[in-house]
Amino acid sequence: MSPVWKISVALVISTLAAPGIARAGDGAFGWLSGDWYLTVGATGLVAPNFEGGKKYMLSAQPIISLGKAGPEARFTSRNDNISLALIDDGGVRAGLTGKFLFSRSSDDELKGLDPVRWGGEIGGFFEFYPTDWMRARAELRHGIRAHNGFVADIAADAFYDVTPTVRISGGPRVSFASANYFDAYYGVNAQEAVASGLSQYSPGGGLKSIGLGGAVTWKVTDPMTASLFGEYSRLEGPAADSSLVRERGDRNQFMVGVSTTYRFDFKM
Protein backbone atom coordinates (compact mmCIF):
# COMPACT_ATOMS: atom_id res chain seq x y z
CA MET A 1 0.00 0.00 0.00
CA SER A 2 1.42 3.41 -1.00
CA PRO A 3 2.04 6.16 1.60
CA VAL A 4 -0.80 8.25 0.13
CA TRP A 5 -3.33 5.44 0.55
CA LYS A 6 -2.11 4.65 4.08
CA ILE A 7 -2.74 8.29 5.01
CA SER A 8 -6.15 8.12 3.28
CA VAL A 9 -7.24 5.16 5.40
CA ALA A 10 -5.98 6.80 8.60
CA LEU A 11 -7.86 10.04 7.90
CA VAL A 12 -11.10 8.24 7.07
CA ILE A 13 -10.95 6.11 10.22
CA SER A 14 -10.17 9.15 12.38
CA THR A 15 -12.99 11.21 10.85
CA LEU A 16 -15.53 8.42 11.28
CA ALA A 17 -14.47 7.71 14.86
CA ALA A 18 -14.38 11.31 16.08
CA PRO A 19 -18.15 12.08 15.85
CA GLY A 20 -18.66 9.90 18.90
CA ILE A 21 -16.51 12.34 20.85
CA ALA A 22 -18.25 15.44 19.54
CA ARG A 23 -21.85 14.15 19.66
CA ALA A 24 -21.85 12.34 22.97
CA GLY A 25 -24.96 13.44 24.83
CA ASP A 26 -26.05 15.81 22.06
CA GLY A 27 -28.07 13.49 19.84
CA ALA A 28 -27.97 13.46 16.06
CA PHE A 29 -26.69 16.77 14.67
CA GLY A 30 -26.63 18.23 18.17
CA TRP A 31 -23.09 19.43 17.52
CA LEU A 32 -24.50 22.12 15.20
CA SER A 33 -25.80 24.20 18.09
CA GLY A 34 -23.52 26.49 20.03
CA ASP A 35 -20.83 29.11 19.36
CA TRP A 36 -19.09 29.09 15.97
CA TYR A 37 -16.45 31.21 14.24
CA LEU A 38 -15.61 32.18 10.68
CA THR A 39 -12.10 33.42 9.93
CA VAL A 40 -11.34 35.17 6.64
CA GLY A 41 -8.20 36.86 5.40
CA ALA A 42 -5.49 37.03 2.78
CA THR A 43 -1.82 36.19 2.36
CA GLY A 44 0.76 38.01 0.26
CA LEU A 45 3.95 36.05 -0.41
CA VAL A 46 7.12 35.80 -2.44
CA ALA A 47 7.63 32.26 -3.73
CA PRO A 48 8.92 30.39 -6.81
CA ASN A 49 6.93 31.07 -10.00
CA PHE A 50 6.03 27.37 -10.03
CA GLU A 51 6.68 24.51 -7.64
CA GLY A 52 10.19 23.42 -8.50
CA GLY A 53 11.10 26.68 -10.21
CA LYS A 54 14.10 28.89 -9.48
CA LYS A 55 12.57 32.29 -10.32
CA TYR A 56 10.54 34.07 -7.64
CA MET A 57 7.35 36.13 -7.87
CA LEU A 58 4.80 37.95 -5.69
CA SER A 59 1.34 36.36 -5.32
CA ALA A 60 -1.72 36.29 -3.01
CA GLN A 61 -3.85 33.54 -1.46
CA PRO A 62 -7.17 33.54 0.46
CA ILE A 63 -7.58 32.33 4.06
CA ILE A 64 -10.92 30.83 5.17
CA SER A 65 -11.65 28.70 8.25
CA LEU A 66 -14.97 27.73 9.83
CA GLY A 67 -15.31 25.88 13.10
CA LYS A 68 -17.10 25.45 16.40
CA ALA A 69 -15.67 27.60 19.18
CA GLY A 70 -14.43 25.78 22.26
CA PRO A 71 -12.90 26.62 25.63
CA GLU A 72 -9.33 26.42 24.28
CA ALA A 73 -7.73 29.03 22.04
CA ARG A 74 -7.26 27.69 18.52
CA PHE A 75 -3.91 27.57 16.71
CA THR A 76 -3.98 28.17 12.97
CA SER A 77 -1.22 28.16 10.39
CA ARG A 78 -0.92 29.75 6.95
CA ASN A 79 -0.41 26.19 5.71
CA ASP A 80 -3.99 25.34 6.65
CA ASN A 81 -6.19 25.28 3.59
CA ILE A 82 -9.84 26.37 3.46
CA SER A 83 -11.49 24.39 6.24
CA LEU A 84 -14.97 23.47 7.46
CA ALA A 85 -14.83 21.77 10.85
CA LEU A 86 -17.53 19.13 11.31
CA ILE A 87 -16.02 17.85 14.55
CA ASP A 88 -14.48 20.13 17.17
CA ASP A 89 -14.20 19.39 20.89
CA GLY A 90 -11.23 21.60 21.70
CA GLY A 91 -8.56 18.91 21.50
CA VAL A 92 -9.58 17.21 18.27
CA ARG A 93 -10.83 18.85 15.09
CA ALA A 94 -11.77 17.25 11.76
CA GLY A 95 -13.80 18.07 8.69
CA LEU A 96 -13.63 19.16 5.08
CA THR A 97 -10.84 21.10 3.42
CA GLY A 98 -10.24 22.61 0.01
CA LYS A 99 -7.56 24.45 -1.92
CA PHE A 100 -7.61 26.75 -4.95
CA LEU A 101 -5.09 25.93 -7.69
CA PHE A 102 -4.05 28.56 -10.19
CA SER A 103 -3.28 27.69 -13.78
CA ARG A 104 0.32 27.16 -14.86
CA SER A 105 1.23 28.63 -18.23
CA SER A 106 3.91 27.43 -20.64
CA ASP A 107 6.13 30.51 -20.41
CA ASP A 108 9.88 30.76 -19.76
CA GLU A 109 11.17 27.53 -18.19
CA LEU A 110 7.86 25.78 -18.94
CA LYS A 111 7.87 26.55 -22.65
CA GLY A 112 6.92 23.46 -24.64
CA LEU A 113 5.06 21.80 -21.76
CA ASP A 114 1.29 21.47 -21.75
CA PRO A 115 -0.32 24.15 -19.51
CA VAL A 116 -1.88 23.02 -16.23
CA ARG A 117 -5.47 24.26 -15.97
CA TRP A 118 -6.78 26.16 -12.96
CA GLY A 119 -8.81 24.07 -10.56
CA GLY A 120 -8.77 22.96 -6.96
CA GLU A 121 -8.43 20.16 -4.45
CA ILE A 122 -11.05 18.93 -2.01
CA GLY A 123 -10.80 16.43 0.82
CA GLY A 124 -10.60 16.11 4.59
CA PHE A 125 -8.40 17.19 7.48
CA PHE A 126 -7.71 15.92 10.97
CA GLU A 127 -5.83 17.78 13.71
CA PHE A 128 -5.15 17.34 17.41
CA TYR A 129 -3.13 18.86 20.25
CA PRO A 130 -0.74 16.31 21.84
CA THR A 131 0.37 19.02 24.30
CA ASP A 132 -0.76 22.53 25.26
CA TRP A 133 1.94 23.99 23.00
CA MET A 134 1.78 21.82 19.88
CA ARG A 135 -0.70 21.05 17.13
CA ALA A 136 -0.44 18.25 14.55
CA ARG A 137 -2.52 18.37 11.37
CA ALA A 138 -2.98 16.17 8.30
CA GLU A 139 -4.86 16.94 5.09
CA LEU A 140 -5.78 14.57 2.26
CA ARG A 141 -7.11 16.19 -0.93
CA HIS A 142 -8.12 15.02 -4.41
CA GLY A 143 -7.59 17.22 -7.44
CA ILE A 144 -10.40 18.74 -9.49
CA ARG A 145 -9.75 19.87 -13.07
CA ALA A 146 -6.09 20.83 -12.57
CA HIS A 147 -5.06 17.24 -11.87
CA ASN A 148 -6.66 13.89 -11.02
CA GLY A 149 -4.39 12.80 -8.19
CA PHE A 150 -4.19 12.76 -4.40
CA VAL A 151 -2.07 15.04 -2.21
CA ALA A 152 -1.40 14.46 1.51
CA ASP A 153 0.16 17.15 3.74
CA ILE A 154 1.29 16.56 7.32
CA ALA A 155 2.57 19.29 9.67
CA ALA A 156 3.38 19.76 13.34
CA ASP A 157 3.68 23.22 14.89
CA ALA A 158 4.99 24.15 18.33
CA PHE A 159 3.80 27.57 19.51
CA TYR A 160 4.76 29.93 22.32
CA ASP A 161 3.22 33.21 23.47
CA VAL A 162 6.04 35.73 23.91
CA THR A 163 3.49 38.30 25.12
CA PRO A 164 -0.30 38.15 25.41
CA THR A 165 -0.50 39.47 21.83
CA VAL A 166 2.62 38.03 20.12
CA ARG A 167 3.06 34.33 19.33
CA ILE A 168 5.93 32.49 17.64
CA SER A 169 5.44 29.08 16.04
CA GLY A 170 7.13 26.60 13.75
CA GLY A 171 7.76 23.00 12.90
CA PRO A 172 8.30 20.32 10.24
CA ARG A 173 6.22 19.66 7.13
CA VAL A 174 6.02 16.65 4.82
CA SER A 175 3.97 16.03 1.68
CA PHE A 176 3.08 12.96 -0.41
CA ALA A 177 1.32 12.71 -3.76
CA SER A 178 0.06 10.12 -6.21
CA ALA A 179 1.36 9.44 -9.71
CA ASN A 180 -1.48 11.42 -11.37
CA TYR A 181 -0.51 14.55 -9.45
CA PHE A 182 3.17 14.22 -10.33
CA ASP A 183 2.33 13.52 -13.97
CA ALA A 184 0.36 16.78 -14.24
CA TYR A 185 3.06 18.98 -12.68
CA TYR A 186 6.33 17.14 -13.27
CA GLY A 187 5.78 14.65 -16.10
CA VAL A 188 7.28 15.21 -19.57
CA ASN A 189 5.81 13.07 -22.35
CA ALA A 190 7.46 12.40 -25.70
CA GLN A 191 5.75 15.31 -27.47
CA GLU A 192 6.60 17.73 -24.64
CA ALA A 193 10.20 16.53 -24.62
CA VAL A 194 10.59 17.43 -28.29
CA ALA A 195 8.88 20.83 -27.86
CA SER A 196 10.66 21.82 -24.64
CA GLY A 197 14.07 20.23 -24.97
CA LEU A 198 13.64 18.50 -21.60
CA SER A 199 14.28 14.81 -21.10
CA GLN A 200 11.21 12.58 -21.21
CA TYR A 201 9.99 11.69 -17.71
CA SER A 202 7.12 9.53 -16.43
CA PRO A 203 6.80 9.80 -12.62
CA GLY A 204 5.28 7.44 -10.08
CA GLY A 205 3.82 8.35 -6.68
CA GLY A 206 5.47 8.84 -3.30
CA LEU A 207 7.16 11.44 -1.14
CA LYS A 208 6.82 14.95 -2.55
CA SER A 209 8.72 17.26 -0.18
CA ILE A 210 10.03 17.77 3.35
CA GLY A 211 10.61 21.10 5.02
CA LEU A 212 10.32 23.54 7.90
CA GLY A 213 8.16 26.58 8.50
CA GLY A 214 7.79 29.28 11.10
CA ALA A 215 5.76 32.40 11.85
CA VAL A 216 5.41 35.38 14.18
CA THR A 217 1.76 36.25 14.79
CA TRP A 218 0.48 39.49 16.27
CA LYS A 219 -3.01 39.76 17.76
CA VAL A 220 -3.91 43.27 16.61
CA THR A 221 -7.35 43.17 18.23
CA ASP A 222 -9.40 40.33 19.68
CA PRO A 223 -10.75 39.23 16.27
CA MET A 224 -7.92 40.48 14.03
CA THR A 225 -4.42 39.01 13.58
CA ALA A 226 -1.40 39.69 11.37
CA SER A 227 1.65 37.50 10.80
CA LEU A 228 5.06 37.27 9.18
CA PHE A 229 6.08 33.80 8.02
CA GLY A 230 8.81 31.89 6.26
CA GLU A 231 8.94 28.39 4.74
CA TYR A 232 11.61 26.12 3.30
CA SER A 233 10.91 22.86 1.48
CA ARG A 234 13.11 20.45 -0.41
CA LEU A 235 11.55 18.49 -3.23
CA GLU A 236 12.00 14.73 -2.97
CA GLY A 237 11.05 11.57 -4.84
CA PRO A 238 9.30 11.92 -8.21
CA ALA A 239 9.36 15.75 -8.01
CA ALA A 240 13.12 15.94 -7.43
CA ASP A 241 13.78 13.35 -10.16
CA SER A 242 11.77 15.27 -12.79
CA SER A 243 13.78 16.61 -15.73
CA LEU A 244 11.92 19.92 -15.25
CA VAL A 245 13.48 20.34 -11.81
CA ARG A 246 16.86 18.75 -12.56
CA GLU A 247 17.48 20.61 -15.82
CA ARG A 248 15.70 23.95 -15.31
CA GLY A 249 14.55 24.26 -11.71
CA ASP A 250 15.68 23.90 -8.12
CA ARG A 251 14.86 21.30 -5.46
CA ASN A 252 15.22 23.95 -2.75
CA GLN A 253 12.10 26.11 -2.42
CA PHE A 254 11.86 29.20 -0.21
CA MET A 255 8.85 31.32 0.69
CA VAL A 256 8.33 34.46 2.78
CA GLY A 257 5.23 36.55 3.28
CA VAL A 258 2.70 38.36 5.44
CA SER A 259 -0.94 37.63 6.18
CA THR A 260 -3.91 39.13 8.00
CA THR A 261 -7.15 37.53 9.21
CA TYR A 262 -10.39 38.63 10.86
CA ARG A 263 -12.58 36.35 12.98
CA PHE A 264 -16.38 36.56 13.13
CA ASP A 265 -18.14 34.85 16.04
CA PHE A 266 -21.77 33.70 15.78
CA LYS A 267 -24.25 31.23 17.28
CA MET A 268 -26.15 28.35 15.69
Q: How far is CA 40 from CA 81, 83, 138, 239, 262, in A?
A: 12, 11, 21, 32, 6
User: Per the domain annotation, does 222 fall within a domain?
Assistant: yes
Whether the full predicted model's pTM is greater than 0.95, yes or no, is no
Q: How far is CA 234 from CA 77, 160, 252, in A?
A: 20, 26, 5
User: Per the domain annotation, does 29 fall within a domain?
Assistant: no
User: Per the domain annotation, does 133 fall within a domain?
Assistant: yes
Q: Looking at residue 8, what is its pLDDT? A: 42
Domain span at residue 99? Answer: 3-24+34-267
Asked whether 103 and 113 are in contact (CB, 8 A), the reply is: no
Q: Looking at residue 68, what is its pLDDT? A: 67
Tally of domains in the chain: 1
Q: 43 exposed, middle or buried (CB, 10 Å; 0-12, 13-18, 19+)?
A: middle
Q: Report the CATH number at residue 210.
A: 2.40.230
Strand partners, 48: 56
User: Per the domain annotation, does 15 fall within a domain?
Assistant: yes
Alpha-carbon span 194 to 97, nearest angstrom: 38
Kindly compute the dihedral angle of the four CA atoms of residues 84, 88, 93, 98, in this order, to the nearest 10 degrees: 0
Neighbours of 81 (CB within 10 A): 22
Q: Looking at residue 19, what is its pLDDT? A: 44
Neighbours of 262 (CB within 10 A): 14
User: Per the domain annotation, does 60 fall within a domain?
Assistant: yes
User: Per the domain annotation, does 210 fall within a domain?
Assistant: yes
The rounded average pLDDT for each run of 10 residues, N- to C-terminus, in the chain (268 residues) is 44 42 48 78 91 91 72 72 81 90 82 91 95 95 96 97 95 98 96 94 97 95 92 97 95 96 85
